[in-house]
Chains A and B, each alone.
Chain A
């Protein structure tokens, strides 16, 4: 333990560049060099103040000098040294604060709700990471998660909880900046390396949660889940909505009323190592929003295509606007498993076919033969649609 009460290994880990940013953002400006340190200066209460920032982590007294610096800042800012230290360590992280508002006394949360919130926090990270990795938006993310998204979630961690309601702190570490470039040159705040993946995910998460927030408003207003579907391009998915609903205490069981749910808010803290997204205030959700989010998730799941499905059935309708060219058919069909078994009920399935496929479908209709078609199956109200056709056979 050092003079400021921060353990020595914690001081060893502090990076001079992060401390520079902390100082710069609080109005300190670099002065001259004193031995292995930069002197930083600013006026405080009408008096010139100066602190020394050691630049070389190999210095034998690096931790002592960091302790001096934290002690001086704590005294000037009127805060405990531990609070200053905490801010310095967070500068390499994007942080999400999940403030849950359960009905238990402030600073506590029912165990079951906490477990659900923790897994939901992980699921939210995964949803944002999948959305960043996958090519194009998805209503539902694949069950098998991309490795890069899994790695991202593995690197994230929970920080200490904070008083007030019950706050979960999720920390997303960002990589070190590249060696090139100097701070505070032309554009004083930022001389940035390309945005790292971890920041892209945090930013995508903010956009998606923000879009889910608006969709929940609109869905309540219209009494319709369509706004969630419209927000898919902004990163909203069934997975994301379920994760958010979980933070409000909705575990997906049927019949959860609003009295059993709780409100929550999400705030985003951004590492100063990269530009902070414009206007990222806290996003608040009421218990009513939690229920709407869950319904939105269900609706997205209903609409999501089943990928690589094989159907077998007979055409009941053939429609083509001209004598030649592609056309639309309706097939009454059942799903075929990989082993050849036909399963489930017969469904009406609409399919858009190429000219050659349409001609073959017409012949099959005339000869009373079945079609076997592979593609992605999506529910559309009271009918289904098969898209992205990858196989077409007349049996």
Chain B
């Protein structure tokens, strides 16, 4: 597999593994315009029957300067598909992966270790860039938003009740 494709596919699987452990089903939308995966929970309790959409980006460790958060440049179209109030919250997830695909996972008789880590950010409240003709937007994904199985804000935000205006 070509390196970039391999890295992208692995990044999505990395997120899917965490989502699965958190009790979410994973669907790949078709067509996948602006979203790489949808996490859903078809729960017996309808209050907990929720969906979250994700756009997943991968970066190789060492290619990003981690100081002050992970800086990711999005095209305007990608940015627009992440911002704004949504029924199904849409998050940007950045997965940091090893430089070498051979180092993606480590398997032994008692554990499976996935390398390396994923971070999330919501762009819901970000304004559209004012500058006319701007082609891209750089956003910062905070290092403290580590995606874990119990990332409460991330997984439970979809359940919250929001008053309609």
Contacts and interface: CB of A to CB of B under 8 A. Distances in A.
A65 B46 contact: no
B152 interface: no
Given A3-B30, A64-B88, A35 B158 contact: yes
A39 B88 contact: no
Contact of B90 (A33, A41, A55, A61): A61
Contacts of A52: 87
A83 interface: no
A41 B46 contact: yes
A78 interface: no
Nearest to A41: B46
Interface string B134-165: 00000000000000000000000011111011
Interface stretch (B6-14, B16-24, B78-86, B98-106): B78-86
Given A3-B31, A58-B85, A61-B90, A36 B164 contact: yes
Given A35-B158, A35-B162, A55-B164, A65 B47 contact: no
Nearest to B160: A35
Instruction: Please report whether the interface of chain B is mostly helix, strand, loop or mixed according to DSSP.
Output: loop
Nearest to B162: A35
B87 A33 contact: no
A371 B159 CA distance: 89
Contacts of A35: 87, 158, 160-162
Interface in B33-89: 46-47, 49-50, 53, 83-88
Interface in A63-84: 64-65
A34 interface: yes
Given A3-B30, A39-B46, A34 B88 contact: no
A52 B160 CA distance: 14
Instruction: Please report whether the interface of chain A is mostly helix, strand, loop or mixed according to DSSP.
Output: mixed
Q: How many B residues touch the partner, as a band? A: 20 to 34
A52 B162 CA distance: 14
Contact of B50 (A34, A41, A58, A61): A34
B158 A50 contact: no
Nearest to B50: A34
Contact of A60 (B49, B84, B164): B84
Contacts of A34: 46-47, 49-50, 87, 159, 161
Interface in A28-59: 31-37, 39, 41, 50, 52, 54-56, 58-59
Contacts of B53: 61
A61 B86 contact: yes
A39 B161 CA distance: 12
B46 A36 contact: no
Given A32-B46, A39-B46, A50-B49, A65 B161 contact: no
Nearest to A60: B84
Contacts of A59: 84-87
Contacts of B50: 34
11 contacts: A32-B46, A32-B161, A34-B49, A35-B158, A52-B87, A58-B85, A60-B83, A60-B86, A61-B87, A64-B88, A65-B88
Going nearest first, the 3 A-B pairs with the smallest beta carbon separation are A60-B84, A61-B86, A55-B164
Given A34-B87, A37-B87, A64-B88, 17 more contacts: A3-B29, A32-B46, A32-B47, A34-B49, A34-B50, A34-B161, A35-B158, A35-B160, A54-B87, A56-B85, A56-B165, A60-B83, A60-B84, A60-B90, A61-B86, A61-B87, A65-B87
